[in-house]
Amino acid sequence: MMNAEQYIDSLRRIKHRVFMFGENVDNIVDHPMIRPSINAVAKTYELAHNPVHENLLAADSNLNGKRINRFTHLHQGADDLINKVKMQRLLGQKTAACFQRCVGMDAFNAVDSVTYEMERDLNLEYHRWFRRFLLDIQEKDFVVEGAMTDPKGDRSLRPSKQADPDLFLRIVSREKDGIVVRGAKAHQTGALSAHEILVMPTMAMDEEDAAYAVCFAVPSGTEGITCIYGRQSCDTRKMEGTEIDVGNCRYGGHECLVVFDDLFVPWERVFMCGEYRYTGALVERFAGYHRQSYGGCKVGVGDVLIGAAALAAEYNGAAKASHIRDKLIEMIHLNETLYACGIACSSQGKATASGTYLIDMLLANVCKQNVTRFPYEIARLAEDIAGGLMVTLPSEKDYRHPEIGKYIEKYLKGTAEVPTEQRMRVMRLIENITLGTAAVGYRTESMHGAGSPQAQRIMIGRQADLEQKKSLARIIAGIVD
Ligand code: SF4
Ligand code: FE
């Protein structure tokens, strides 16, 4: 397993084509806006070498028998699924940000079981190719970015009916040695922190959209891939060279629009090519795993936010007020409910035909549906407790100013024993998670990441056996049809 330094060094060897603010970024590793997200991924390497957390961050590979980072592991039992959620909560607590590496892990597990079924049913080599690819990833301990979301253009039209056929990523030609693909993936979490990219179809395809049924992996610096960096609220504060105003200056997450411009993919890295009947299973399983993931990572960030709100109350001298205590209890209740869902869908996991474990799909969808709501309520309560200062606070440069800094020190003090700087730091942290760069992960991603709320409602409707519930009611009520 790589350690954090080796991981960061390994990124220096990748030649990404990246644009930010209309300019090409040459050095992503030392870029002040990008580095915090690399630090967040580095935490997944660091903790794998920490004897206290090793049991969560590492696992025994079923492919080579070696100790590997759990982020490259195929879940071999319900315990693995539970440990995954616990690991994500821990990393959320340590980074208060998106640590980006889960998308690839969720993609491996989904692609593994689906390619097994394709190879079994269709006598194709996809599963063998995929396992060879994954073994290499485990041995190199690489980060793989899972890529599912296509731009999708006009939502009322199928992929092949779009005015521009590239609005869904597609196969443009099949060659002797591989395929050529064109299209884009949007909202790509951790695009610049990853060594490889694993592309999947964005939804269930039918026969006329078979050219869009494609799954493959390529190194993320491959020629033909362009990353366009996504803006986040308050992102340029990271370029100001100050610490307090950023709120969380060490860790962050990022997303990119990733464009694939007639990219060649060799056959041994292609895991689906036109087999549209398997797209539905792949999308559902990947989404299911990622909906489970949110029962871990969002809970960990929630822990930090609840802690920050409690500190803000203390610094304001309001900690003993009964309504404040009640609000903190409500935040904890909501946060632990999300965790309970993450653990529940894991504990009820079952083996797929490939041996890789899959979560309980109904409970995973219930988990994510709650994630589309509870972090918003937790954020609302945190803002309530913090007070308006979290959005009207002067800058750190004013606080450090030789002439006026003393006014901030004097007039923005809360309780006498707490230095004003501590109060400023905690206000900025709450601002960062609820409104700033980390709000991408804690709020909007809670809504739309791993599928928007309606996607879970469709799955809940499909997974719940309403007929069986009706028959239960008939028996109790003594209704004879
Ligand atoms: Fe992992 Fe959460 Fe980020 Fe998704 S949002 S990659 S589950 S930390
Ligand atoms: Fe996500």
- The protein residue with its alpha carbon nearest to ligand 1, atom 2, reads 297
CB neighbour burial string for 65-93, b if at least 16 within 10 angstroms, e if fewer? eeebbbbbbbbbebebbbbbbbbbbbbbb
Stretch (H or E) spanning 196: strand 196-199
Three-class DSSP category at 102: helix
Question: From ligand 2's centre to the CA of 474, what distance in Å?
Answer: 42
Residue of minimum CA distance from atom 1 in ligand 1? 102
| Whether the Cβ atoms of residue 389 and residue 144 lie closer than 8 Å to each other | no
Q: Which two tokens stand for residue 78?
A: 């319900």
Whether residue 481 has pLDDT greater than 90: no
Whether 295 has a pLDDT exceeding 80, the answer reads: yes
Q: How far is the centre of ligand 1, averaged over its atoms, from the C-alpha of 190 (Å)? A: 9
Provide the 3-class DSSP secondary structure of residue 197: strand
Instruction: Tell the residue number behind the tokens 């997974």, with chain if given.
Output: 463
Q: Which helix (H) or strand (E) holds 350?
A: strand 350-351
CA atoms within 13 A on the CB side of 391: 10
Burial profile 106-123: b = 16 or more Cβ within 10 angstroms, e = fewer = bbbbbbbbbbbbbbeeee
Distances (CA, A) of 104 to 153, 194, 244, 301, 441: 25, 9, 32, 20, 17
* Residue that has been written with the tokens 């308006």 in this structure: 388
pTM: 0.98
CA–CA dist 172, 473 (Å, integer): 54
In contact, 363 and 348? CB cutoff 8 Å: yes
How far is Cα 204 from Cα 127, in angstroms, rounded to an integer? 20
Whether residue 286 has its Cβ less than 6 Å from ligand 1: no
In whole angstroms, what is the distance from residue 120 CA to residue 175 CA? 25
**pLDDT tens per residue, range 1-15:** 999 999 999 999 999
In the block, residue with structure tokens 């899972």: 146
* 148 within 8 A of 187, measured Cβ to Cβ: no
* Bridge partner list, 219: 196
225: Cβ–Cβ under 8 A, 6 or more apart, which residues? 16, 17, 197, 218, 258, 259, 260, 261, 263
DSSP code of 395?
P
Q: Is 37 in the pocket of ligand 1 (CB under 6 A)?
A: no
385-422 pLDDT per residue, tens:
999 999 999 999 999 999 999 999 999 999 999 999 99
- Give the mean pLDDT of 229-256: 97
Q: What is the mean pLDDT of residues 449-460?
A: 96
Is it the case that residue 196 has pLDDT exceeding 80? Answer: yes
Q: Is the pLDDT of residue 222 over 80?
A: yes
Length, in residues, of the chain: 481
Distances (CA, A) of 133 to 71, 127, 192, 216, 413: 15, 10, 20, 10, 57
Q: Give me the chain's average pLDDT, please.
A: 98
CA separation for the pair 264, 384 (Å, rounded): 52
How many C-beta atoms lie closer than 10 Å to residue 137's C-beta? Answer: 23
Question: Which residue has tokens 């994954």?
Answer: 134
Q: How far apart are CA 369 and CA 261, in angstroms?
A: 35
R_g of the chain computed on alpha carbons: 24
| Token pair belonging to 356 | 């890789």
**Minimal CA–CA distance to 100: which of 178, 12, 7, 200?**
7
Mean pLDDT of 95-112: 98
In angstroms, what is the span from residue 40 Cα to ligand 1's centroid? 11
CA distance 144 to 198: 7
User: What does 252-293 look like in DSSP terms, one character per residue?
Assistant: ---EEEEEEEEEEEEGGGEEEES-GGGHHHHHHHHHHHHHHH
Of all residues in the chain, what percent carry a pLDDT higher than 90?
100
Distances (CA, A) of 310 to 137, 326, 382, 384, 419: 42, 11, 9, 11, 16
Q: Ligand 2 centre and the CA of 445: distance in Å? A: 6
Helices 279-316 and 453-463, packing angle to 10 deg: 120
Fold of the domain spanning 281-465: Butyryl-CoA Dehydrogenase, subunit A; domain 3 (1.20.140)
For strands 225-229 and 178-189, give the pairing. Answer: unpaired
Average pLDDT over residues 43-63: 98
298-324 in b/e burial notation, b at 16+ Cβ within 10 A? bbbbbbbbbebbbbbbbbbebbeeeeb
**Distance (Å, rounded) from C-alpha 441 to C-alpha 98?**
6
Stretch 208-212: mean pLDDT: 98
**Is any ligand 1 atom within 6 A of the Cβ of residue 293?**
yes
pLDDT of residue 391: 97
> Which residues are annotated as catalytic?
98, 102, 189, 255, 290, 294, 297, 445
State whether the beta carbon of 143 lies less than 6 angstroms from ligand 1.
Answer: no
Q: Which residues pair with 171 in a beta bridge?
A: 181
Mean pLDDT of 30-44: 98
Distance CA 24, CA 11 (A): 17
Q: How distant, in Å, are the alpha carbons of 196, 282, 291, 345, 374 from that of 295?
A: 26, 21, 7, 9, 11
- Locate the ligand 1 atom nearest the alpha carbon of residue 92 and give its number: 8
Distance separating alpha carbons of residues 115 and 20, to the nearest angstrom: 36
Token pair in block for residue 85: 């959620």
- pLDDT of res. 104: 98
Q: Which two tokens stand for residue 19?
A: 């644009």
Per-residue pLDDT of 124-177, as tens digits, reads 999 999 999 999 999 999 999 999 999 999 999 999 999 999 999 999 999 999
Shortest-distance Cα residue to atom 3 of ligand 1: 98
